[in-house]
Amino acid sequence: MSTDADRNLEGELASASAGQVGIPVDAICVGCGRTRVKRARPAEMDQPVHVDPTDLEASDLTSFKHVCHRCQSATWWNPVAVLTGLLESEGGEQE
């Protein structure tokens, strides 16, 4: 099993399994406990649509539903970090 230090967050964000639009967050699947980078729209995490992602903390966010490929279903994910560094690397283009 890999550790957080072994993870490639940019690679995870680029993966189709992260989603296409939304704020990149590190999140834990409630089904299997796997931590992955996922994209979620602000409204999915009970935030205003036009919120500045750099102002968010993981504790501000609610769980959101997203596909977990390990669980092979859509399941709930609990955000543990807003990945502002990944936002900056892609030019801050978010919906």
pLDDT tens digit sequence for 67-87: 999 999 999 999 999 998 887
Closest CA to 32 of 72, 3, 64, 59: 72
Q: What is the pTM of this model?
A: 0.84
| Segment 32-47, tens digit of pLDDT | 999 999 999 999 999 9
pLDDT at 92: 46
Q: Which of 2-11, 26-35, 36-45, 52-61 has the lowest mean pLDDT?
A: 2-11
Q: Going edge to edge, which strands form the sheet with 64-68?
A: 35-40, 23-29, 73-82, 64-68
| CA dihedral sign, ordered 86, 50, 57, 36 | negative
**45/61 Cα distance (integer angstroms):** 5
Residue percentage of the chain with pLDDT more than 90: 81
